[in-house]
Amino acid sequence: MTHDVTHHIPEPMLADYAAGRLGHAFSVATAAHVSLCDECRARLAAHEAAGGAVLETLPPEPVSDELMARVMARLDDPAAAPPEPPRPSGIYPGPVMAALGGRPPRWRSMGAGIRQAMLHAGPDGSLRLLYIPPGRAVPDHGHKGRELTLVLQGAFHDETGRFGVGDVEYADESLEHTPVADEGAPCICLAATDAPLRFRGLIPRALQPIFRI
Protein backbone atom coordinates (compact mmCIF):
# COMPACT_ATOMS: atom_id res chain seq x y z
CA MET A 1 0.00 0.00 0.00
CA THR A 2 1.28 3.48 -0.84
CA HIS A 3 0.24 6.84 0.58
CA ASP A 4 0.28 10.49 -0.43
CA VAL A 5 3.65 11.16 1.17
CA THR A 6 5.07 14.68 1.29
CA HIS A 7 7.99 14.27 3.73
CA HIS A 8 10.72 11.86 2.65
CA ILE A 9 13.94 10.18 3.81
CA PRO A 10 16.95 12.54 3.47
CA GLU A 11 19.12 11.60 0.50
CA PRO A 12 22.31 10.87 2.51
CA MET A 13 20.37 8.53 4.83
CA LEU A 14 18.81 6.72 1.87
CA ALA A 15 22.25 6.29 0.31
CA ASP A 16 23.61 4.89 3.60
CA TYR A 17 20.68 2.47 3.77
CA ALA A 18 21.35 1.25 0.22
CA ALA A 19 25.01 0.72 1.12
CA GLY A 20 24.20 -1.11 4.38
CA ARG A 21 25.75 1.60 6.55
CA LEU A 22 22.70 2.40 8.73
CA GLY A 23 22.24 0.91 12.18
CA HIS A 24 19.32 -1.39 12.93
CA ALA A 25 16.89 1.25 14.24
CA PHE A 26 17.25 3.62 11.29
CA SER A 27 17.28 0.72 8.83
CA VAL A 28 13.90 -0.52 10.08
CA ALA A 29 12.41 2.99 9.97
CA THR A 30 13.78 3.57 6.47
CA ALA A 31 12.56 0.21 5.19
CA ALA A 32 9.10 0.85 6.65
CA HIS A 33 8.90 4.27 4.98
CA VAL A 34 10.12 2.91 1.64
CA SER A 35 7.35 0.30 1.76
CA LEU A 36 4.80 3.15 1.95
CA CYS A 37 6.38 5.66 -0.44
CA ASP A 38 6.66 5.28 -4.23
CA GLU A 39 9.12 8.16 -4.54
CA CYS A 40 11.62 6.88 -1.97
CA ARG A 41 11.30 3.34 -3.33
CA ALA A 42 12.35 4.63 -6.75
CA ARG A 43 15.18 6.70 -5.26
CA LEU A 44 16.40 3.66 -3.32
CA ALA A 45 16.39 1.56 -6.51
CA ALA A 46 18.54 4.23 -8.17
CA HIS A 47 21.05 4.12 -5.31
CA GLU A 48 21.17 0.32 -5.46
CA ALA A 49 21.66 0.38 -9.23
CA ALA A 50 24.49 2.89 -8.85
CA GLY A 51 26.11 0.71 -6.20
CA GLY A 52 25.82 -2.33 -8.46
CA ALA A 53 27.44 -0.41 -11.32
CA VAL A 54 30.37 0.49 -9.06
CA LEU A 55 30.82 -3.15 -8.02
CA GLU A 56 30.98 -4.19 -11.67
CA THR A 57 33.98 -1.92 -12.19
CA LEU A 58 36.00 -3.56 -9.41
CA PRO A 59 38.53 -6.27 -10.33
CA PRO A 60 37.45 -9.83 -9.43
CA GLU A 61 38.82 -11.42 -6.26
CA PRO A 62 40.02 -15.03 -6.51
CA VAL A 63 38.43 -17.56 -4.13
CA SER A 64 39.56 -21.04 -3.19
CA ASP A 65 37.87 -24.17 -4.50
CA GLU A 66 36.97 -25.04 -0.90
CA LEU A 67 35.13 -21.74 -0.36
CA MET A 68 33.29 -22.09 -3.65
CA ALA A 69 32.17 -25.62 -2.69
CA ARG A 70 30.90 -24.42 0.70
CA VAL A 71 28.94 -21.57 -0.89
CA MET A 72 27.36 -23.84 -3.49
CA ALA A 73 26.45 -26.44 -0.86
CA ARG A 74 24.77 -23.78 1.25
CA LEU A 75 22.81 -22.49 -1.72
CA ASP A 76 21.53 -26.03 -2.35
CA ASP A 77 20.53 -26.56 1.32
CA PRO A 78 16.77 -25.90 1.79
CA ALA A 79 17.35 -25.32 5.52
CA ALA A 80 19.61 -22.38 4.69
CA ALA A 81 16.87 -20.47 2.91
CA PRO A 82 15.99 -17.26 4.77
CA PRO A 83 12.58 -17.28 6.45
CA GLU A 84 9.79 -15.39 4.75
CA PRO A 85 9.63 -11.88 6.24
CA PRO A 86 6.48 -10.95 8.19
CA ARG A 87 3.74 -9.40 6.09
CA PRO A 88 2.11 -6.05 6.85
CA SER A 89 -0.62 -6.22 9.47
CA GLY A 90 -3.11 -3.41 9.92
CA ILE A 91 -1.22 -0.12 10.14
CA TYR A 92 2.14 -1.85 10.60
CA PRO A 93 4.35 -2.38 7.51
CA GLY A 94 6.28 -5.62 7.11
CA PRO A 95 9.57 -4.24 8.54
CA VAL A 96 7.73 -3.09 11.68
CA MET A 97 6.02 -6.46 12.05
CA ALA A 98 9.47 -8.08 11.78
CA ALA A 99 10.75 -5.83 14.58
CA LEU A 100 7.66 -6.79 16.60
CA GLY A 101 8.40 -10.48 16.06
CA GLY A 102 5.06 -10.83 14.26
CA ARG A 103 3.13 -9.97 17.43
CA PRO A 104 1.03 -6.92 18.44
CA PRO A 105 2.86 -4.11 20.27
CA ARG A 106 3.23 -4.37 24.04
CA TRP A 107 2.39 -0.83 25.10
CA ARG A 108 3.76 0.79 28.24
CA SER A 109 2.18 3.93 29.67
CA MET A 110 4.34 7.05 29.79
CA GLY A 111 1.65 9.21 31.41
CA ALA A 112 -0.91 11.68 30.01
CA GLY A 113 -2.28 8.94 27.75
CA ILE A 114 0.97 8.58 25.81
CA ARG A 115 2.31 5.04 25.43
CA GLN A 116 5.38 3.44 23.93
CA ALA A 117 6.46 -0.02 22.81
CA MET A 118 10.24 -0.48 22.75
CA LEU A 119 11.36 -2.53 19.75
CA HIS A 120 15.13 -2.19 19.97
CA ALA A 121 17.70 -0.57 22.25
CA GLY A 122 21.44 -0.92 21.71
CA PRO A 123 24.70 0.93 21.10
CA ASP A 124 23.58 1.81 17.56
CA GLY A 125 20.36 3.48 18.74
CA SER A 126 16.81 2.76 19.78
CA LEU A 127 13.55 2.01 17.97
CA ARG A 128 10.11 2.45 19.50
CA LEU A 129 6.45 2.81 18.67
CA LEU A 130 4.68 5.82 20.17
CA TYR A 131 0.93 6.17 20.76
CA ILE A 132 -0.18 9.77 21.23
CA PRO A 133 -3.86 10.59 21.92
CA PRO A 134 -5.55 13.25 19.77
CA GLY A 135 -4.57 16.78 20.77
CA ARG A 136 -1.87 15.57 23.17
CA ALA A 137 1.61 17.11 22.95
CA VAL A 138 4.93 15.36 23.40
CA PRO A 139 7.02 17.44 25.85
CA ASP A 140 9.18 20.12 24.25
CA HIS A 141 12.57 18.63 23.42
CA GLY A 142 15.73 18.93 21.38
CA HIS A 143 18.11 16.22 20.16
CA LYS A 144 21.62 15.10 21.02
CA GLY A 145 21.77 13.14 17.77
CA ARG A 146 19.45 12.14 14.96
CA GLU A 147 15.80 11.12 15.10
CA LEU A 148 13.65 9.72 12.30
CA THR A 149 9.90 9.55 12.99
CA LEU A 150 7.50 7.72 10.66
CA VAL A 151 3.73 8.22 11.01
CA LEU A 152 1.74 4.97 10.80
CA GLN A 153 -1.68 6.26 11.91
CA GLY A 154 -3.21 9.69 12.39
CA ALA A 155 -0.98 12.75 12.11
CA PHE A 156 1.01 15.26 14.14
CA HIS A 157 2.24 18.79 13.66
CA ASP A 158 5.07 20.85 15.11
CA GLU A 159 7.08 23.97 14.36
CA THR A 160 8.25 22.54 11.02
CA GLY A 161 4.92 21.40 9.53
CA ARG A 162 2.33 18.62 9.49
CA PHE A 163 3.10 14.93 9.10
CA GLY A 164 0.53 12.34 8.04
CA VAL A 165 0.60 8.60 7.36
CA GLY A 166 3.76 7.61 5.50
CA ASP A 167 5.53 10.92 6.21
CA VAL A 168 8.85 11.01 8.05
CA GLU A 169 10.29 13.83 10.10
CA TYR A 170 14.08 14.00 10.30
CA ALA A 171 15.51 15.84 13.30
CA ASP A 172 19.04 16.57 14.46
CA GLU A 173 20.81 18.77 17.01
CA SER A 174 19.50 21.91 15.30
CA LEU A 175 15.80 21.18 15.94
CA GLU A 176 13.85 21.80 19.13
CA HIS A 177 10.13 21.15 18.81
CA THR A 178 6.86 20.20 20.48
CA PRO A 179 5.01 17.57 18.40
CA VAL A 180 1.22 17.63 18.89
CA ALA A 181 -1.11 14.86 17.68
CA ASP A 182 -3.88 16.06 15.35
CA GLU A 183 -7.52 15.61 16.25
CA GLY A 184 -9.12 12.41 15.02
CA ALA A 185 -7.42 9.04 15.28
CA PRO A 186 -4.61 8.62 17.82
CA CYS A 187 -1.21 9.24 16.27
CA ILE A 188 0.96 6.13 16.15
CA CYS A 189 4.56 6.68 15.08
CA LEU A 190 7.73 4.67 14.66
CA ALA A 191 10.71 6.60 16.05
CA ALA A 192 14.41 5.79 15.59
CA THR A 193 17.09 7.66 17.53
CA ASP A 194 20.85 7.33 17.92
CA ALA A 195 21.19 9.49 21.05
CA PRO A 196 18.99 10.53 24.00
CA LEU A 197 16.56 13.40 23.56
CA ARG A 198 17.19 16.73 25.28
CA PHE A 199 14.21 17.76 27.44
CA ARG A 200 13.75 21.13 29.11
CA GLY A 201 11.20 19.99 31.68
CA LEU A 202 12.33 18.48 34.98
CA ILE A 203 9.80 15.62 34.96
CA PRO A 204 10.61 14.38 31.41
CA ARG A 205 14.32 14.50 32.27
CA ALA A 206 13.71 12.47 35.41
CA LEU A 207 11.77 9.84 33.44
CA GLN A 208 14.34 9.48 30.64
CA PRO A 209 16.29 6.59 32.22
CA ILE A 210 13.06 4.68 32.90
CA PHE A 211 11.70 4.94 29.36
CA ARG A 212 15.12 4.95 27.64
CA ILE A 213 14.38 8.12 25.70
Give per-residue pLDDT as tens, 111-149: 889 999 999 998 888 999 999 999 999 989 999 999 999
Give this prediction's pTM: 0.84
Residue 198: the pLDDT is 82
Contact 164, 63 (CB under 8 A): no
Helix (H, G, I), strand (E, B) or coil at 120: strand
How is the chain split into domains, by residue range? 1-213
pLDDT band at residue 2, thresholds of 50, 70 and 90?
Answer: low
Q: How many other CB atoms are found less than 10 A from the CB of residue 105?
A: 18
Q: Which fold has domain 1-213?
A: Jelly Rolls (2.60.120)
Mean pLDDT of 47-60: 70
Residue 19: the pLDDT is 93
Residue 52: the pLDDT is 63
Residue 83: the pLDDT is 65
